[in-house]
Chain A
Amino acid sequence: MLWYVLRRLAYVLPILLGVSIVCFSLLHLAPGDPLTSVMPEFASEQVIEQIKRSYGFDKPVPVQYLLWLFNVLTGDLGLSQVANRPVWDELVPAMVNTFQLAAFGIGLSLLCGIGLGLLAGYTRRLVTDRAITTTAIIGVSVPHYWVGLVLIAILAVTLGLLPAMGKAPPSDGFGLNDIRHMILPAVTLALIPTGIIARSVRATVIDVRKQEFVQTLQANGLPPRRTFLHVIKNASPTVLAIIGIQLGHLVGGSILVETVFAWPGTGYLLNTAIAYRDLPVLQGTILVLATFFVMLNFLVDLAQPFLDPRMTRQ
């Protein structure tokens, strides 16, 4: 088991290193000079040199990377060029908001995705299965932001049932108004993961139920509910891996949904950082989200051997 953990960790470290290199390169790959926005308009050569030196841009690129990496590892993501505040101070509240929304969204998509997937898998080729499969394909294929706009148009604008955008103003604790604000973005966000989870649960359940051990259970007179537990446990490693990836997408890939609903999360932060060319915020946000994604999948990998004992033996 320890060996398994170490081996998984050995996969994670190079990926994280790669992520950090990509994030660092953003600064140099983005068109234009990173200093133009802070430079006085008619700066002399001497002033330019001085500013360059003060920001560390006079050093060779690998040295700049190592310095940057050291800062990041010690918790310094730099200053936001727009707000002139530490990137962390921008990032933390945005992450809290995004996690709130993602938790709501993933809860919704787990509930619907697993439930519908099981139903479809157990009623294969029947009406329920066909209806669920078709709906799942539509759910996966329709663009997020469009669904978001349609939901706003119908439920918020025409019917006035729910708030159209934004987050509830901070009050004492978490209340009903917070949930009302989260419903539309969370539903929109949950749409694609629900479809993907439903489809993978269905396929896995059908696959597991075809296996011979299910017949052994039946031959031994075990009731359907016990057989169901065996099917679930056999299906869980595959489904968990997919849920891990979807959860990552939910946290990281919500730029469009957060923008449509003006939800002040990381996606929204990224969008504004792009608009204002706020490179340190962009770098920091991408780095944190990518690390989160990698670590999430690492955790999923660690959970796998508990569900399928064959995993540790390779």
Chain B
Amino acid sequence: MNAVDLTPVEGNAGPFLSVRDLSVEFLSEGRPLRAINGVDFDLHLGETLCFLGESGSGKTVTMRSLVQLLPPTARIWGRVLLDGIDVLTLDADRLRAIRGSQVSMIFQEPMTALDPVFTVGHQIAEVVVWHEGLSWSAGRARALEMLELVQVPSARRRLDAYPHELSGGLRQRVMIALALSCKPKVLLADEPTTALDATVQIQILLLLRELQRELGMATIFVTHDLGVACEISDRVAVMYAGRFVETGAMAEVIDSPRHPYTVGLLNSTVHAGSERGKLAPIPGAPPDLLDMPPGCAFAPRCPRVVAACREGVPDLEQLAPGRSARCPRTGSPDC
């Protein structure tokens, strides 16, 4: 077992969300495709964990599988304990009761993720009415409250606005209001700032950080943007080809990355800790999930590859409490 110990900042009881050996397989033209391979992590209330990786690394699939929001061709294994409830064994009704009320999601593209033919007030109220059994007028009052919480200007008027009448930033604020409307304990954010302008990105990030602290939610943040990850996360899990390759506290991982892939990511993006002016892209492309190399999935692109890398998938080795890397050379001095 390579359970990653993501110890909380303060001494909480147990983790609110505990994931063990989570694997997801899709049927792709009759062949099984392993998108996620044995992911383990714990998350406490009030903590933000970031999944960092390139597209196709499995970060979104990992996040969605927590509430089984995957296409019908997907098969999920493992155990997802949410406040003691095994989410993967729930029937459809009980799963729906959790979605939106305990665990909410924010999507990447706020234009397409909101229904274009209903007012935003209606869309928020609908969720509240359904989960909490309130009247529609109470639901509408909650919607107003939520729009004010996410700092939508002239919120009362915006209740009756349709998504197309709002700017991208406002739409994403509405999306956040929708996700938070039933006071969830876990917030799943799938690249919530990627589709926005740079200036709006910062506003939304700051808002999310503020709300997360205020409401004390456990948050999972999926992004490929290191800068965004730095800004919002306590901890990070770097993903490559459906596996965690490195985990740890955000600052530690940035300061002393232990996996060559993390090093490559840091060198190929502009961020606060990057050496001035030197950008080095990682050569090659992520592997085809239908045709994986036998050993470490990163070996074909790795500058420090040794024979052991190609023999078997390296273990996720614990380096310190809450700090681990999946590389046979993490112990060697030049790493």
Contact with B along A205-228 (1 / 0, CB 8 A): 000000111011111111100100
Complex CA distance for A234 and B118, rounded to whole angstroms:
9
A210 to chain B, nearest CB (A): 10
Segment among B92-100, B210-218, B283-291 that sits at the interface with chain A: B92-100
Tell me whether B22 is interfacial, beta carbon within 8 Å.
no
Complex CA distance for A223 and B95, rounded to whole angstroms:
10
Tell me whether B116 is interfacial, beta carbon within 8 Å.
yes
- List residues of chain B with CB within 8 A of the CB of A216: 105, 107, 113-115, 175, 178
B93 to chain A, nearest CB (A): 8
- Are B116 and A234 touching (Cβ within 8 A)? yes
- Contacts A212-B109, A213-B112, A215-B107 given; indicate if A222 touches B117 (C-beta within 8 A): no
Task: Name the residue among B67, B127, B164, B178 with the largest chain A CB count within 10 angstroms.
Answer: B127
- Are A310 and B164 touching (Cβ within 8 A)? yes
- Are A308 and B116 touching (Cβ within 8 A)? yes
- List residues of chain B with CB within 8 A of the CB of A309: 116-117, 162, 164
- List residues of chain B with CB within 8 A of the CB of A221: 95-101, 127, 130-131
Taking CB as reference atom, which chain B residue is nearest A211?
B112
Complex CA distance for A313 and B127, rounded to whole angstroms:
28
Tell me whether A233 is interfacial, beta carbon within 8 Å.
yes
Complex CA distance for A310 and B166, rounded to whole angstroms:
12
B318 to chain A, nearest CB (A): 33
Contact of A219 among B67, B131, B164 (CB under 8 A): B67
- Are A220 and B164 touching (Cβ within 8 A)? no
- List residues of chain A with CB within 8 A of the CB of B95: 221
Taking CB as reference atom, which chain A residue is nearest B97?
A221
Tell me whether A307 is interfacial, beta carbon within 8 Å.
yes
Tell me whether B69 is interfacial, beta carbon within 8 Å.
yes
- Are B104 and A219 touching (Cβ within 8 A)? yes
Tell me whether A277 is interfacial, beta carbon within 8 Å.
no
- List residues of chain A with CB within 8 A of the CB of B116: 213, 234, 308-310
- List residues of chain B with CB within 8 A of the CB of A211: 112
- Contacts A213-B112, A213-B113, A310-B116 given; indicate if A219 touches B99 (C-beta within 8 A): yes
Complex CA distance for A272 and B8, rounded to whole angstroms:
88
Contact with A along B245-262 (1 / 0, CB 8 A): 000000000000000000
Tell me whether A249 is interfacial, beta carbon within 8 Å.
no
Tell me the B58-90 residues at the A interface (CB within 8 Å).
67, 69
- List residues of chain A with CB within 8 A of the CB of B69: 215, 218-219
Tell me whether B145 is interfacial, beta carbon within 8 Å.
no
- List residues of chain A with CB within 8 A of the CB of B175: 216
Complex CA distance for A222 and B115, rounded to whole angstroms:
13
Tell me whether A230 is interfacial, beta carbon within 8 Å.
yes
- Are A313 and B164 touching (Cβ within 8 A)? yes
- Are B97 and A234 touching (Cβ within 8 A)? no
Closest 4 CB pairs of A and B: A221-B99, A220-B100, A221-B100, A212-B112
Interfacial residues, chain A to chain B (CB-CB below 8 A): 211-213, 215-223, 226, 230, 233-234, 307-310, 313
| 14 intermolecular pairs with C-beta atoms under 8 Å apart | A213-B113, A213-B116, A216-B107, A219-B69, A220-B178, A221-B97, A221-B99, A221-B130, A222-B126, A222-B127, A223-B96, A226-B126, A234-B115, A309-B162
